[in-house]
Amino acid sequence: MLYTPITFRNVELKNRWVMSPMCMYSCENGLANDFHFVHYGSRSQGGTGLIMVEATGVEPRGRITNHCMGIWNDEQAEKLQKIVEFIHENSESKIGIQLAHSGRKGSTWNNVQIPIEDGWETIAPSGIPYHPTERIPHALTVEEIEEQVQNFKNAARRAVKAGFNVIEIHGAHGYLVHQFLSPLSNIRTDEYGGSFENRIRFLIEIVDAVNEELNENIALFVRISGTEYAGNGWDINDSVELAKILKNHSVDLVDVSSGGNIHGAKIPFHAGYQVPFSSKVRNNAGVKTAAVGLITEINQAEEILQKGDSDLIFIAREILRNPYIAVQGSFEMREDCFFPYQYLRAKISI
Ligand SMILES: Cc1cc2nc3c(=O)[nH]c(=O)nc-3n(C[C@H](O)[C@H](O)[C@H](O)COP(=O)(O)O)c2cc1C
């Protein structure tokens, strides 16, 4: 199944391999540069079905560090467009972008909060820091929440203009959207806090606003944390309920990761540790999903798809080690995969 195409709206992915979004902390002023051109371009030469550009801030405070990617102005979108065009002209890969806001987890370097004069005052649904030693984030007013929804919408418009095939909203890992979802980071008493319906409101408003910028040629994915590994926190049943609602709001795929919102939460890392969350969301909510997390082997990826645990395989660290994993897998499995014509002599092993 790894090499069976799949279509979201009119976007056909040639295979099920997805380069998972990964911050590279290598931008100045949020601008992509030659590093990103080579970094993403090489994965397209490796046959990856979909390349997801790293978490990209929808406003300056939406970055995690001062060196994260941004798409809050046209210059940033134009730099990204060059990468998009290269990939479209020189491969069969599709390219997506993860739109993100770090919320209370911003203004850091190496996961440590940096002084306000070198960073910024962070924002969150409620004035609760991620770690007790951190500054108290500014709790957004309703008007400011609306501005954030607009920031996602503006970012989506720029991404569409730049030619991206997929937009992914980052709703996982304890960043701003996740902060709203969780009753442990969101203790608001207005329409954005309290009940499940209220806590998901921010995400649903973003989804609707972003969808207004999309058409049948651009698919919409949402990444969530299936659970945050904390009693009384966001859990897999919440994720299933959310996924049903996202489906009704024209979200094409739910990318199921986990954790990130609760400092010190115990995460049981092992091969494919998040696959059961993807499976549960896929089979109980009837949505397409992606599995991610310690998927490193070609046969392991194939088995996940065969078992019906996910529709796509997101790989992160393994594709940093092996940018050519999609081509390599096709070679081993005798399946057809894009191969740069310049490299065709390597398609035959003798
Ligand atoms: C260097 C690095 C940067 C990451 N940045 C992001 C990011 O921008 N957005 C995101 O959703 N996840 C991010 N992640 C998480 C990965 O996308 C992925 O979910 C995680 O690494 C588990 O997959 P793996 O075991 O294949 O590495 C990052 C991971 C790494 C290693």
**pLDDT tens digit at each of 350 positions of the chain:** 999 999 999 999 999 999 999 999 999 999 999 999 999 999 999 999 999 999 999 999 999 999 999 999 999 999 999 999 999 999 999 999 999 999 999 999 999 999 999 999 999 999 999 999 999 999 999 999 999 999 999 999 999 999 999 999 999 999 999 999 999 999 999 999 999 999 999 999 999 999 999 999 999 999 999 999 999 999 999 999 999 999 999 999 999 999 999 999 999 999 999 999 999 999 999 999 999 999 999 999 999 999 999 999 999 999 999 999 999 999 899 898 998 999 888 877 65
Find the 38 Cα to ligand 1 centroid distance in Å: 19
Q: Check pocket membership of 101 for ligand 1, CB cut-off 6 A.
A: no
21 Cα: distance to centroid of ligand 1 (angstroms) = 6
| Helix (H/G/I), strand (E/B), else coil: 310 | coil
Length of the chain equals 350
Q: Confirm whether pTM is higher than 0.95.
A: yes
In short, whether 98's Cβ falls inside 6 Å of ligand 1 is: yes
Rounded Cα distance between 68 and 101, Å, is: 11
Q: Are 192 and 180 in contact (CB under 8 A)?
A: yes
Are 89 and 117 spatial neighbours (Cβ–Cβ below 8 Å)?
A: no
* Token pair for 323: 């940018």
Cβ neighbors of 117 (< 8 A, separation 6 or more) are none
Bridge partners, 138 (sequence order): 123
Ligand 1 pocket, residue 114 CB under 6 Å: no
Atom nearest to 314 CA in ligand 1: 26
Among candidates 42, 59, 39, 44, which has minimal Cα distance to 99? 59
Identify the bridge partners of residue 13 per DSSP, sorted by sequence position: 6
Distance 22 CA to ligand 1 centre (A): 5
Ligand 1 atom closest to 295 (CA): 26
Pocket perturbation via mutation, ligand 1, pick of 19, 22, 25 by most ligand atoms within 8 A of CB? 22
For residue 160, report the phi and psi dihedrals to the nearest 5 degrees.
Answer: -65, -45
Phi, psi of 57 (to 5 degrees): -65, 135
Is the distance from the beta carbon of residue 105 to the nearest atom of ligand 1 less than 6 Å?
no
Q: Which of 19, 23, 273 to mutate to test the pocket of ligand 1 (most atoms within 8 A of CB)?
A: 23
Q: How far is the CA of 172 from the centre of ligand 1 (A)?
A: 11
Query: How far, in Å, from the CA of 11 to the mean position of ligand 1?
Result: 24
Contact 314, 291 (CB under 8 A): yes
